[in-house]
Structure 1
Amino acid sequence: MPELPEVETVRDGLDRFVVGAVVRRVEVLRDYSVRRHEGGAPDFAGRLTGRRLAAAVRRGKFLWLPLVEEGGGPAAPPDEALLAHLGMSGQLLVRGGTSADEWQHPHLRVRLHLEGAPGDHGAPARYLDFVDQRTFGHLSVQDLVPDAAGLAAGHGSDLPLLPVPVEHIARDLLDPHAERVAVARAVRRRRTQIKRALLDQTVVSGVGNIYADEALWRAEVHGRRPVDRMRQGDVLRVLDAAAEVMGEALVRGGTSFDALYVNVNGESGYFARNLDVYGRAGEPCRRCGTAIRREQFMNRSSYFCPRCQRFR
């Protein structure tokens, strides 16, 4: 599943290639991909057509593009946004030129026909395609509501507005408004294990299975340690490691294991080459040489070093 670095890489591409464009037409090729939109596919298309994409914003793993009326001035505040969650395999791909009319990905679910995208200069229209093989992702148009703290609601915009379904999502560790000490306190109040706390998007957003394992390895903490038995400094060390590893992954465009995660140009990220523990079962730990171990965790896998990350 795309995690914060992958979603931020997509957000950055949307910011550069589609923000400022007007939606001229919407094709919904699979209704299930807009299942979270009240009113269904016809209403989804109707509420997007003629609207300008004003920004590209992210909180954790959620992306949204605030919508303004085509003729509205630059100061006109948006009241709705196109919300995207990529799920397990969702991709937002930007296509341009007349050749895009002939380009049909086998898992194309929704296509937005855009006009006036950055750099077009009268060139043929641009397309924003939502491609999703496993169909866990979804798009919807959602109302914007004020951020509870009155601060910029996500990365990519100074507006203190966010879509209703994102209200319960915590800020992520790369958000300048995230109070890491407060996050550590919130983690320690949970009656759970540290890895489960890292994956709880209401506590801290953006961290998924891959970066949780990488952060825990860097902090030398076993994922099954109960958080209420951990010291504040230990939790902060894990959070710092998570922020560090996600920042490094972001520089490299995220982690791609196959064609299911790419940026808006269809290019893969390269951080998979730098993973220290995830997916390396049986290989030597880069720190101590002990064989990395894999165990089942919440219908997924956890990877750890049994020597560096002893269960205490």
Structure 2
Amino acid sequence: MPELPEVEVVRRGLVSWVRGRTIEAVEVVDPRSIRRHALGTEDFIGNLQGATVGDVVRRGKFLWMPLLDTGAGAPAGTRDSAGLPQVALMAHLGMSGQLLMQGRDVPDEKHLKVRLRLSPRDGMPDQLRFVDQRIFGGLFVTDLVPTDDGGPGGLAESPLPLIAGEAAHIARDPLDPAFSFDLFYRRLRKRKTGLKRALLDQGLVSGIGNIYADEALWRARLHYARPTDTLRRAEAERVIAEARQVMLDALAAGGTSFDSLYVNVNGASGYFDRSLNAYGREGLECKRCAAAGVSSVMKREQFMNRSSYTCPACQPRPRNGRW
């Protein structure tokens, strides 16, 4: 499943292609991909057709496009009395969802699910296509609600204090300029759990998935089972700083692609998997220890029906680690 850097790669790509363009026509090829839109196909199309994409916003792994009206013929109620958008097109990528910008001359993909035809713009393709082989993802129209802290809903070109209803329950992510370490640390110290479980808790900090949690913990020299109520402030600052940096590094490489189904809006895969230090390196020597002349082999352990990868030398398991 795409993690935060992969979704941010898609967001950045979409912004330059769709922001400010009007959705002129909508084709639902497979209704299963809009099953989260409870009012059905006609309502889905009616909300989109004639609306203008105001921006592309991300919080954690959630991605949405606020919709603005375009005057006569636009769906009713797409702006409030202050001129702010009230609804958004939400995109859930699931395991294999792709948002691709393509021209009408490009043949349809085998797993095309939804097609949006956009208003013309010089030199740009006019179709936004949602492709999904495994059909775990989907598109739906949702309400925008005020953020609980009055800050921006998420990372965007023109941030607004609005958030898609389905994302309102999750915390800010480390790449969000409004992320508060003080709030994160206060909440963290109240938890009695293991550090990696806390990093994966979207109500505490969003967007850190299994791969990047392992990478951040390796960089911070902390074991995933470290009890959160024993974590010193400097250690918590270090792991969040490393989580932020590893995701920025992944962004620079276009994301981490273990599955050929993950691509950005231009159809290109990311390459950060070639730079991983922990995840998937069971049985291989620890790069940091090897550089220091120490022989240590990376270890894989079961964790929450997944896997955790650590170095037993530079990430020793705490004596009181229970997770």
Q: TM-score, normalised by structure 1?
A: 0.92
Distance in 1, Cα, partners of 2:39 & 2:121: 28
CA distance 1:183–1:118, change in 2 (3 Å): farther
Distance in 2, Cα, partners of 1:295 & 1:41: 45
Q: Is 1:33 matched with 2:33?
A: yes
Query: Aligned residue for 1:91?
Result: 98
Q: How does 1:1-312 map to 2 (within 5 A)?
A: 1-71=1-71, 76-96=83-103, 98-100=104-106, 103-117=107-121, 119-120=123-124, 126-156=126-156, 157-289=158-290, 290-312=296-318
Distance in 2, Cα, partners of 1:173 & 1:128: 29
Is the Cα contact below 8 Å between 1:256 and 1:268 reproduced in 2? yes
Alignment root-mean-square deviation, CA: 1.9
Identity of aligned residues (%): 55
Corresponding letter in the other structure for 1:114: L
Distance in 1, Cα, partners of 2:308 & 2:112: 32
Q: TM-score, normalised by structure 2?
A: 0.89
Distance in 1, Cα, partners of 2:21 & 2:165: 24
Distance in 1, Cα, partners of 2:249 & 2:209: 15
Distance in 2, Cα, partners of 1:106 & 1:184: 47
Corresponding letter in the other structure for 2:16: R
**How far is the alpha carbon of 1:232 from its aligned partner?**
2.3
Corresponding letter in the other structure for 2:300: R
The count of aligned residue pairs is: 305
Q: Secondary structure at the match of 2:289?
A: coil
* Structure 1 residue runs without a partner (length 5+): none
**How far is the alpha carbon of 1:42 from its aligned partner?**
2.2
Corresponding letter in the other structure for 1:108: L
Distance in 2, Cα, partners of 1:302 & 1:187: 20
The Cα offsets for residues 216-258 of structure 1, whole Å up to 9 and x where unpaired, read as 1011111122212222222221111101111111111111123
**How far is the alpha carbon of 1:138 from its aligned partner?**
2.1
The Cα offsets for residues 134-171 of structure 1, whole Å up to 9 and x where unpaired, read as 22222110111111111111111321111111111111
The Cα offsets for residues 99-148 of structure 1, whole Å up to 9 and x where unpaired, read as 13xx222222211111234644xxxx611111122222221101111111
Is the Cα contact below 8 Å between 1:89 and 1:137 reproduced in 2? yes
Distance in 1, Cα, partners of 2:122 & 2:179: 31
Corresponding letter in the other structure for 1:146: P
Corresponding letter in the other structure for 1:295: E
Q: Secondary structure at the match of 1:287?
A: helix
* Structure 2 residue runs without a partner (length 5+): 73-78, 291-295, 319-323
Q: Secondary structure at the match of 2:105?
A: helix
Q: Secondary structure at the match of 1:177?
A: coil
Is the Cα contact below 8 Å between 1:17 and 1:118 reproduced in 2? no
